[in-house]
Amino acid sequence: MKTSSYSAPEQSGFKFDNSYAKLASKLYQKQKPEAARNPNLLLLNHALAKTLGLNVQALEKEGAEYLGGNALYATAEPIAQAYAGHQFGGFNMLGDGRAVLLGEHITPDNKRFDIQLKGSGRTAYSRSGDGRAALAPMLREYIISEAMHALGIPTTRSLAVVTTGEMVYRDDAYPGAVLTRVASSHIRIGTFQYASALQDRQLLAELADYTIHRHFPEIAAAENKYARLLEKVIDLQASLIAKWMQVGFIHGVMNTDNMSICGETIDYGPCAFMNNYDPGTVFSSIDSKGRYAFGNQAPIAHWNLYRFAETLLPLINTDEDQSIVTAKELLEAFPARFLAYWLAGMRHKLGLFNQEQGDLELVEDLLMYMQKNNADYTNTFRSLGKELLKTMQIYHDAGFKNWLQAWEARLSRQQENFAQSLTLMDRTNPAIIPRNHLVEDAISAAVDQQTLQPLEQLLSAITAPYSTDAVHSKFTQPPEPSFDIHYKTFCGT
């Protein structure tokens, strides 16, 4: 295995601090990226680079070597992180089997972000894997993570995609690539599960204290900071999943190792967006029983949080029984918290500024009519209150017309006028999501035809999701009905 061979000054503007590498070595392994045969910078996220305070010109010149794994920045201290996870309910000891954390970049405004190379070769946690990634799933993560960011949903982001000039072998041979992922951190529920599985209370406390210091410093002096940590993560997950549900996003593989402690969407494997509303929607090829179906995401997040709470029990209280009582009380608040976040967002999607007792029923009735009429989730919400709604099948449902009258009556009972409600709805209901068929077309063009034009057009559209610009009209159309019947997404490993 050929690893990175040389280092260079921080001409690109990276300023690494690497605080995670100062934790106990049980939590990671020092690991250099594996050099690529012929790295080529395929995509560079200029907007994100500027946000991070990086030198775009230097990245364009040197990104292939440094973000492809052939060279190391002078202050980088690359590591592969250890973690565990419940994968479809079964527990496994895991780790970064195909990723290397270069370090933590400190931006000019003193914010800290992990810079990780995904697909950069074998690590101590690769087991029988080759540590490489295929180009197609790396492009998918780039597209979807940027769409999620534009939709206002907390997420890891993608700085660059570098092709390796090598093939990776799965069910067939595919072009290889390395994705540069940017995250507030890569600390997962699975990271805590790993520390807990080692039965090392000191290690667990060190990880928890580090997490609090890095992400939740406001609770560091709390009477029971570990209980407050659990409460913070519960709240963040409730908010995050509600945001997913409001735009029809399906993560596809909500294993505990794919749940970020800081509440960011992470690990875009078999993810997809729902077209016709159906809470049972599953596109993942590995989710044959629908464990991670669209409508099951909140209950699964709740289940994952129970696993997180189990790791914290030795820290919350020295009396295990009392610790369980405290954790259970906090966990039982999750459904109500999720519902509150979800309903608040759904009110905005309906143009509602205030609250009434019947709002939940109003929302649920709309979703029922959408499912009954195979209505497109995104377009139905976007069309409410507009003439376009009259061209849709759902409009001819007598029950739905009654619902419209109830909705209009509900709008009339608030101080804001109808025009203000429409403005709120247009700010809340995206016109454009990364439609699955367009994502596949863009990836296919890039991988099979070596043209980035469809991908660049798609990126331009999805990074302005609330736009009413007619030039983007093709990005608002759902696929043919038969597409979803056969469509499957894949993990990429």
Residues forming a β-bridge with 250: 272
Q: How far apart are alpha carbons 354 and 414 in whole angstroms?
A: 7
Q: Which candidate in 96, 114, 257, 267 is catalytic?
A: 257
**The token pair that represents 339 in the structure block:** 């519902």
**The token pair that represents 288 in the structure block:** 């044959």
- Give the DSSP letter of residue 32: P
**The token pair that represents 359 in the structure block:** 């709002």
CB atoms near residue 180 (< 10 Å): 28
**The token pair that represents 112 in the structure block:** 């800290």
Residue with tokens 């799965």: 170
Q: How far apart are alpha carbons 473 and 202 in whole angstroms?
A: 56
| Element at 174 (helix H, strand E) | strand 173-183
Q: How far apart are alpha carbons 314 and 406 in whole angstroms?
A: 52
3-state secondary structure of 103: strand
Angle in degrees, 0-180, between the axes of helices 201-215 and 225-247, rounded to the nearest 10 = 60
**The token pair that represents 221 in the structure block:** 């002096």
Q: How far apart are alpha carbons 300 and 280 in whole angstroms?
A: 14
For the chain, how are helix, strand and coil distributed in percent, rounded to 5?
50, 20, 35
The values of phi and psi at residue 103, to 5°, are 155, -170
**The token pair that represents 88 in the structure block:** 């479809």
Would residue 257 show up in a list of annotated catalytic residues for this protein? yes
Which among 60, 189, 186, 35 is positioned nearest to 116, based on CA atoms? 186
Residue 263 backbone class (left: φ over 0; alpha: ψ -120 to 50; beta: rest): left
Which among 249, 241, 244 is positioned nearest to 275, based on CA atoms? 249
Which among 192, 25, 146, 10 is positioned nearest to 462, based on CA atoms? 146
Which among 152, 162, 221 is positioned nearest to 39, based on CA atoms? 162
Give the catalytic positions in this structure.
Answer: 257
